[in-house]
A = this chain, B = another copy of it.
């Protein structure tokens, strides 16, 4: 590594990280952010528009996440005094925390590898 030219200084190591099951993605940055926005706004539609995402896409993500676990990460309710809404369950919150901790370790890995590269 020590004979990589100086210009290597300009490069950074970057990456993406996610959890997946047999064939489907389970959790990634977008799904985590969506759950956080649902926590904040109390509905899928408001969460979606808050992050510039179509309702349909957000709905599909919730469907995908919930379909891969026994206890759903997001509960939805149609109708009612406010028309309905969505909440993140304790299970959902747990995954959010676990994912964030994972990302912290990943960022350390990337920073370390970038340092290594630029040696």
Contact = CB atoms under 8 A, between A and B. Distances in A.
Interface of A: 1, 3-5, 7, 10-22, 26-27, 68-71, 91, 94-95, 98, 101-102, 105-106, 109, 113, 117
A5 B102 contact: no
9 contacts: A1-B98, A5-B71, A10-B21, A11-B19, A13-B18, A13-B19, A13-B102, A19-B117, A98-B117
Given A102-B113, A106-B15, A70 B21 contact: no
B19 A91 contact: no
A34 B39 CA distance: 44
Contact of A7 (B1, B4, B70, B113): B70
